[in-house]
Structure 1
């Protein structure tokens, strides 16, 4: 794709169609409709690169009512299908196409462009992202698809959609969430900001449900996740300490006596009727000193 086209993508679909509010019914678009061609509505097919999975029915009905009253004032951006030259694939404007079907239009205005799959996916994502029509997860999945299928880097994506690289990185991190948390984001019960605050939480699923139930703010969610993390660390330290059994005074005294005798740290562990005596030394000289000390001890007289 040329640099000019990439710059146009960064400005959004308006740069391709010459209009700033492409998705709205606008009388200023009438000249553009006259310049486009009209095709039977059944010749159009949905965009296979469409990142949006959910279309708001209330908004779709409002657009249908507008089309019934005023006609379709905005053309739909399409490209010819390679396997059927008489059919077109929608690149941008699928919501208008759906509304036109509900309004029972027989023909719709289109603008035909030649473009490869990569550009078609880019435009589909740009159109929805800049109009904020996508859910956070749909946006994230669209970015990931561009990276997987067309080897985009995060810098490429930032340039294409006109967002910062940190925004791209934060959106992609949402894909690391458990499925149950993703469902809460997709359903609008928690925001992308809430979800990002839970990314490194020990039990993000339980916390996400609590956040949704209590209606916590993003800042409150961050504090909650931090509190849970600190509590888990404290419990882990306490468990580690409690695992070491307390030795009785006689055992500790015996360890002290042996340590004084040998000049090294001694540890005694009992196992049933027996046990283990551990002498810690750092050098061979220390070990030689232990042997000398033992040899100097008086031996019991044998009878």
Structure 2
């Protein structure tokens, strides 16, 4: 049940309820302020990892408080308190400032829903909000997919994200792989490394290959994630692959052991004609202007036209 203070709060603002549409979820909310201790984090927060951010703390101080209110709901278990739907990082870093003795940050602006949401609606709202932010593509979709599977199972997670189960599994695989890159200077870059690696054919990414790549990255013998694209050429070649898997092997040494590519045999007259057409297409317009009226060139073009007509007649 809701506490008398919550009921009174809503009674005072019921005429000011506004609709907030978040994809398929429509929330009715009102704005107010609450003490930081009256706000409780969501135990099913989709975001993983550390939330303390010194840069965010500086922004809060520079603005004299939070610029964007926390989105919260009436807490179903603690009367008089609110549970965070979106804004866990802002709440966490405001609390850090309060614990440093900066009491002016105790009162936080909040946007309150008129009801406690279901788990699915709460997650849908959070995901919709975060998809609008730049950071979603940078690092969050794989992390959230992994967390949703843990919270709700694969089918429900895929439904909430609006993707197929197969696409969901890809995101989860990328996140699980990213967790193995433990020695990067920027831990958030692990997703980029994992994405590059998963761009290689899954048939080629055997456990031994994955283990070798992770070890060489963590040992900083591979320092640029885009270098992993070389694996697409290395792994199908048995000699190059064996070199890469060896203790002393790396991407560059493996590339040196690739078997030379056989030149594609020419296809006869058809390829010759295609090469001639491409050569003519590549002549700059300015060069053509300089050749305008050239009698020798015109004579050769006429001869070529006659030859092409004869050729066409012969094969028609």
TM-score of the superposition, structure 1-length normalised?
0.53
Aligned mates of 2:234, 2:27 — CA distance in 1? 49
2:198 to 196, 201, 208: 196
Mapped pair 1:63 → 2:66 = no
Structure 1 residue 72: deviation in Å?
2.6
The answer to whether the 8 A contact 1:40-1:106 is kept is yes
Mapped pair 1:127 → 2:129 = yes
Aligned mates of 2:148, 2:92 — CA distance in 1? 25
1:44 to 35, 39, 62: 39
The SS at the match of 1:38 is strand
Matches within 5 A, 1:105-254: 105-113=105-113, 114-133=116-135, 139-151=141-153, 152-153=155-156, 156-159=159-162, 168-177=168-177, 180-181=180-181, 187-190=187-190, 191=192, 192-197=194-199, 200-201=205-206, 202-211=208-217, 213-218=221-226, 220-224=227-231, 226-231=233-238
Q: CA RMSD in A?
A: 4.0
Higher mean displacement: 47-56 or 181-190: 181-190
| Structure 2 runs not aligned, ≥5 long | 1-19, 243-316
Aligned mates of 2:142, 2:62 — CA distance in 1? 31
TM-score of the superposition, structure 2-length normalised?
0.51
Which structure has the greater CA radius of gyration?
1
Change (3 A) 1:208 1:64: same
